[in-house]
């Protein structure tokens, strides 16, 4: 029986990891940890300076509460035992104690646009986390990257991810959106506005203008706001009450169900835009809808977690020496390609 460590993050990432583990629990020991870091980033997280990220604050609290509620085996920071396989929700940081181990990376959801920060990170070799999810997959510190769709596979390859390391499996939570249409959310026929934590991640956001846009698009329909978990909720609620005093505001709740019951959905930069498009909603977003349709997560009736578990089994049965040889060969090819480029 193998030991598997699932490195979780946001509640969305945590539920994805639990769904995958569900198919492995019969034959393996599965342990879970909140997301963690090393060095000065770990120090900043312990001081509470990174509470707007998955390293602390609401994200960490909700993840730990989810562990307790579901009686999951917890090994904080994966420090209590040796692991045969690591399944992680992000490679923006690659923790020291997982390097060299069998590792599978899972795409969480939508990735950030390739803006200025992405270009700076890629060409100046800056830390990947500065560009957020735009640099997902670029660590090369994993054996397989399980992605949402063929469209995303092509996007990641264009960015520099090795094609042989990608498995198009679909991703849990976004592979069966029609299932959200049967729900207990109490309202219908409204306009839903899903906010993004742009300011919390040091990007520009004219929130007053966004709220006014939402009011205009809603017209006579009820306007409902769902705040992103990483947002400064106190500030966001205050702004909405000031500029849209008649709007309903939700800080918590299942946004997929809210989308299913809405007439129209307004987003900034959010994975939930995929759900709105898949359900055929009237969609208004800062993102390119045609591009999103190409990237749309596979709708396989909720089978993605099982498919990913099969990838886990395959990697577990691959000798670690062979995986390390493949990694070394990949790095050698990458260095040669970079040299040839110059």
Q: Model-level pTM?
A: 0.90
Q: What separation in angstroms does the CA of 218 have from each of 61, 224, 234, 265, 284?
A: 34, 9, 23, 10, 11
pLDDT at 21: 98
Q: Is the pLDDT of residue 209 over 80?
A: yes
User: What band does 326 get if pLDDT is binned at 50, 70 and 90?
Assistant: confident
pLDDT band (50, 70, 90) for residue 172:
very high
Tell me the CA distances in angstroms from 290 to 54, 119, 133, 295, one per residue in order.
30, 23, 20, 9
Q: Please give the domain boundaries of the chain with CATH numbers for all domains.
A: 2-175+299-341 (3.40.50.11720), 177-295 (3.40.50.2000)
Residues whose CB falls within 8 Å of the CB of residue 250, separated by 6 or more in sequence, listed in order = 224, 225, 226, 227, 258
**How much is the average pLDDT of 204-210?**
94
- Please report the pLDDT score of residue 324 as a whole number: 79
pLDDT at 262 over 90: yes
Angle at 194 between CA 33 and CA 300, to 5 degrees: 65
Q: Is the pLDDT of residue 203 over 90?
A: no
The 3-state DSSP composition of the chain as helix, strand, coil percent (nearest 5) reads: 45, 15, 40
Average pLDDT value for the chain: 93
């Amino acid at each position: 029986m193998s030991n598997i460590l699932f490195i979780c993050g946001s509640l969305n990432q945590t539920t994805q990891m639990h769904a995958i583990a569900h198919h492995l629990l019969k034959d393996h020991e599965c342990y879970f940890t909140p997301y963690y870091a090393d060095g000065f980033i770990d120090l900043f997280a312990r001081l509470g300076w990174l509470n707007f990220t998955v390293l602390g604050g609401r994200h960490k609290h909700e993840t730990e509460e989810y562990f307790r509620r579901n009686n999951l085996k917890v090994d904080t920071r994966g420090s209590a035992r040796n692991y045969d396989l690591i399944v992680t929700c992000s490679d923006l940081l690659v923790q020291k104690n997982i390097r060299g181990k069998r590792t599978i990376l899972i795409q969480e959801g939508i990735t950030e646009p390739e803006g200025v920060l992405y270009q700076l990170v890629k060409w100046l070799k800056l830390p990947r986390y500065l560009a957020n999810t735009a640099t997902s997959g670029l660590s090369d510190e994993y054996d397989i990257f399980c992605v949402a769709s063929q469209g995303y596979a092509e996007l990641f390859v264009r960015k520099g991810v090795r094609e042989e390391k990608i498995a198009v499996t679909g991703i849990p939570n976004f592979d069966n959106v029609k299932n959200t249409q049967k729900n207990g959310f109490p309202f219908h026929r409204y306009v839903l506005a899903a906010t993004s934590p742009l300011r919390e991640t040091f990007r520009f956001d004219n929130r007053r203008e966004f709220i006014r846009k939402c009011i205009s698009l809603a017209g006579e329909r009820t306007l409902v706001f769902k705040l992103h978990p990483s947002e400064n909720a106190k500030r966001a609620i205050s702004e909405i009450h000031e500029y849209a005093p008649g709007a309903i505001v939700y800080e918590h709740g299942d946004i997929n169900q809210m989308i299913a019951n809405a007439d129209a959905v307004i987003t900034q930069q959010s994975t939930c835009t995929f759900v709105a498009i898949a359900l055929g909603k009237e969609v208004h977003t800062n993102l390119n809808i045609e591009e999103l349709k190409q990237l749309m997560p596979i709708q396989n009736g909720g089978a993605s977690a099982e498919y990913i578990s099969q990838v886990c089994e395959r990697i577990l049965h691959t000798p670690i020496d062979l995986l390390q040889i493949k990694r070394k060969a990949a790095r050698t090819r990458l260095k040669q390609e970079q040299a040839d480029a110059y």
